[in-house]
């Protein structure tokens, strides 16, 4: 395994000066092994564990010469906080400069990193030259990388998408402490899998611990008839058309769709279809 540069020559020596001897040794060896104790360290059992887990993720990222930037929901303007409401991005992960991505309310729409997380579920790395993934993904080729550094708020990053229940997408990007670094191929080969495990554990357990509202009532389960009605509704059939296809009355079709809506805590027909698709009852693929 190739050796890293001496820690004394590291471009961000001051940023890592507070690390333990074990972490510095890991940086010297240029390796970040997946360890069960580290996985437990970034796992959140309850709100009071959030800050401790965030600090553990921060240490693991620094050990690899990176700084982590976690988002529990790329569609949410809010950013992860501890149980006292302190913003982790600034208080733990040290994003306090002009690259404080979490202050940009439009980053979910503007950032090519967030866009890529909608089309990819495995870790990848990216710079202005394009996306690099373990497996080819033609959807990423269509993402606009114009003015990449300003829109992504980094010159390069290793990104871990975290796809959660009910269509929620979280992500953790790992950004090099060396701000001039743009080629992360070696870092991705060494740390990509480990980052994937730690990021998914942290984000998934954060959402579970800090989620205050359930996406739908516990124990909800659609019947066979409700699912059948929604499958036809999903491809644009009207109640009358569905009743003819299923040889049922129009009121019966409405009854089944209304029941499904109630079970899924949906406010209208479209949201009922959408939630049913999220839960795997029906497919929206064409």
pLDDT digits (tens, 9 = 90+) for 104-146: 666 767 899 999 999 999 999 999 999 999 999 999 999 999 9
Indicate which CATH number applies to the domain containing 249: 1.10.10.10
Indicate which CATH number applies to the domain containing 182: 3.30.450.80
The answer on 138 and 85 residing in a single domain is yes
Give pLDDT tens digits for 225-276: 999 999 999 999 999 999 999 999 999 999 999 999 988 888 889 989 998 9
Asked if 29 contacts 3 with a C-beta cutoff of 8 angstroms, the reply is yes
Give pLDDT tens digits for 207-229: 999 986 556 666 678 999 999 99
The answer on 177 and 41 residing in a single domain is yes
With 50 as the cut, is the pLDDT of residue 6 above it? no
The answer on 130 and 158 residing in a single domain is yes
Q: How many domains does the chain have?
A: 2
pLDDT bucket at 27, cuts 50 / 70 / 90: very low
132 torsion bin: left (phi>0), alpha (psi -120 to 50), beta (else)? beta
Residue 178 belongs to a domain? yes
What distance in Å separates the CA atoms of residue 194 and residue 89, rounded to the nearest whole number?
21
Asked if 28 contacts 4 with a C-beta cutoff of 8 angstroms, the reply is yes
What distance in Å separates the CA atoms of residue 122 and residue 282, rounded to the nearest whole number?
24
Domain range for 258 is 224-278
pTM over 0.85: no
Neighbours of 107 (CB within 10 A): 19
pLDDT bucket at 34, cuts 50 / 70 / 90: confident
The answer on 245 and 193 residing in a single domain is no
């Amino acid at each position: 395994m190739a050796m890293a540069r001496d820690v004394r020559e590291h471009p961000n020596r001051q940023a890592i000066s507070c690390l333990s001897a074990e972490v510095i040794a890991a940086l010297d060896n240029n390796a970040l092994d997946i360890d069960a104790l580290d996985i437990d360290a970034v796992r959140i059992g309850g709100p009071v564990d959030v800050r401790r887990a965030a600090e553990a993720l921060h240490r693991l990222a620094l050990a690899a010469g990176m700084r982590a930037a976690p988002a529990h929901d790329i569609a949410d303007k809010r950013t992860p906080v501890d149980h006292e409401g302190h913003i982790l991005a600034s208080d733990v992960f040290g994003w306090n400069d002009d690259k404080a991505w979490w202050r940009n309310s439009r980053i979910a729409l503007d950032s090519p990193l967030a866009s890529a997380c909608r089309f990819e579920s495995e870790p990848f790395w990216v710079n202005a030259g394009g996306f690099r993934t373990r497996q080819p993904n033609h959807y990423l080729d269509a993402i606009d990388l114009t003015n990449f550094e300003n829109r992504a708020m980094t010159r390069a990053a290793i990104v871990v998408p975290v796809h959660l229940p009910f269509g929620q997408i979280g992500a953790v990007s790992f950004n090099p402490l060396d701000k001039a670094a743009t080629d992360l191929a070696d870092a991705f080969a060494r740390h990509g899998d480990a980052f994937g495990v730690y990021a998914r554990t942290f984000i998934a357990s954060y959402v579970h611990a800090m989620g205050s509202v359930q996406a739908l009532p516990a124990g909800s389960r659609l019947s066979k008839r409700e699912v059948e009605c929604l499958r036809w509704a999903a491809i644009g059939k009207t109640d009358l058309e569905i009743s003819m296809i299923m040889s049922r009355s129009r009121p019966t079709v409405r009854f089944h769709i209304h029941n499904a809506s109630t079970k899924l805590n949906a406010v209208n027909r479209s949201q009922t279809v959408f939630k049913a698709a999220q839960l795997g009852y029906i497919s929206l693929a064409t």
